[in-house]
A and B are shown apart, each in its own frame.
Chain A
Amino acid sequence: QVQLQESGPGLVKPSQTLSLTCTVSGGSISSGGYYWSWIRQHPGKGLEWIGYIYYSGSTYYNPSLKSRVTISVDTSKNQFSLKLSSVTAADTAVYYCARERTTVTHWFDPWGQGTLVTVSS
């Protein structure tokens, strides 16, 4: 079955760019029918959708983060990536990647295990 795994630095300095990669196994990003998403969870808080990408490269971002977010895809590596610029302590969170279904219904499954990113000098 499809599995997702996040990777990237666990510590980022304020004002720098957070960069994470999600590697998909057990299925192809290019098979279509799904979007590939990033979601974050601030410590002890709820879930915030960041954005998604389709294998073709089309993207959609949360309006509240749009000015700082870039999501890209590398179909040859079966990976997609998140970049969040100008980070502050408020961006400290667990970042999840997930497969998103939006046709007829809407859900996220499966999810990666999540990776904690701390913004601190």
Chain B
Amino acid sequence: EIVLTQSPGTLSLSPGERATLSCRASQSVSSSYLAWYQQKPGQAPRLLIYGASSRATGIPDRFSGSGSGTDFTLTISRLEPEDFAVYYCQLAITFGQGTRLEIK
């Protein structure tokens, strides 16, 4: 069973800054199966990135994904107030534990 480990657990940044979130798999995986989600309080997760680097429909281009093998990254180039949320990576039926992005 592949385990996904996200880091950091909590990231404190200010609007306008760049956010870099990490997702590490316990073994090498196909990037085609790596996705990222955003979840705000009281809402369902929203698909942001699939195939490690493809933006889902309607997702702003400040969100980008990259990586291969065991290491994957979600980058938010310039944080907007609405970007502060919890972010999850997903591979097949496994989710990471999440990174909370909070306002500094």
How far is A110 from B94 in the complex, measured between Cα atoms in Å? Answer: 17
From A49, A62, A106, A111, B44 is in contact (CB under 8 Å) with A111
Residue of A nearest to B86 (CB): A46
Residues B91 and A108 in contact, CB atoms below 8 Å apart: no
- The count of A-to-B residue pairs whose CB atoms sit within 8 angstroms is 54
How far is A113 from B91 in the complex, measured between Cα atoms in Å? Answer: 22
Residues A62 and B93 in contact, CB atoms below 8 Å apart: yes
How far is A98 from B35 in the complex, measured between Cα atoms in Å? Answer: 14
Residues B44 and A112 in contact, CB atoms below 8 Å apart: yes
Q: What are 22 residue pairs bridging A and B, where the CB atoms are less than 8 Å apart in the complex?
A: A46-B88, A46-B95, A46-B96, A46-B97, A47-B88, A47-B90, A96-B45, A102-B92, A105-B50, A106-B33, A106-B35, A106-B50, A107-B35, A107-B50, A108-B37, A109-B47, A109-B56, A110-B47, A111-B44, A111-B46, A113-B43, A114-B44
| B39 CB, nearest partner CB in chain A, Å | 8
* Binary contact track A76-107/B, C-beta < 8 Å → 1, others 0: 00000000000000000000101001101111
Interface residues on A, range: 20 to 34
B51 close to chain A: CB less than 8 A = yes
Q: Which residue among B44, B91, B96 has the maximum number of chain A CB atoms within 10 Å of its CB?
A: B44
CB neighbours of B47 from chain A (8 A): 107-110
Give me the interface of A with B, judged by CB distance under 8 Å: 46-49, 62, 96, 98, 101-102, 104-114
Beta-carbon contacts under 8 Å, B46-71 to A:
46-47, 50-51, 54, 56
Given contacts A46-B88, A46-B95, contact A105 B51 (CB under 8 A): yes
| B35 CB, nearest partner CB in chain A, Å | 4
Extra contacts, 17 of them, besides A106-B90, A108-B37 (Cβ < 8 A), are A46-B95, A46-B97, A46-B98, A47-B88, A47-B95, A96-B44, A98-B44, A101-B50, A102-B92, A106-B33, A107-B35, A107-B50, A107-B56, A107-B90, A109-B47, A110-B47, A112-B44
Residue of B nearest to A52 (CB): B93
| B11 CB, nearest partner CB in chain A, Å | 16
How far is A96 from B97 in the complex, measured between Cα atoms in Å? Answer: 17
How far is A71 from B23 in the complex, measured between Cα atoms in Å? Answer: 30
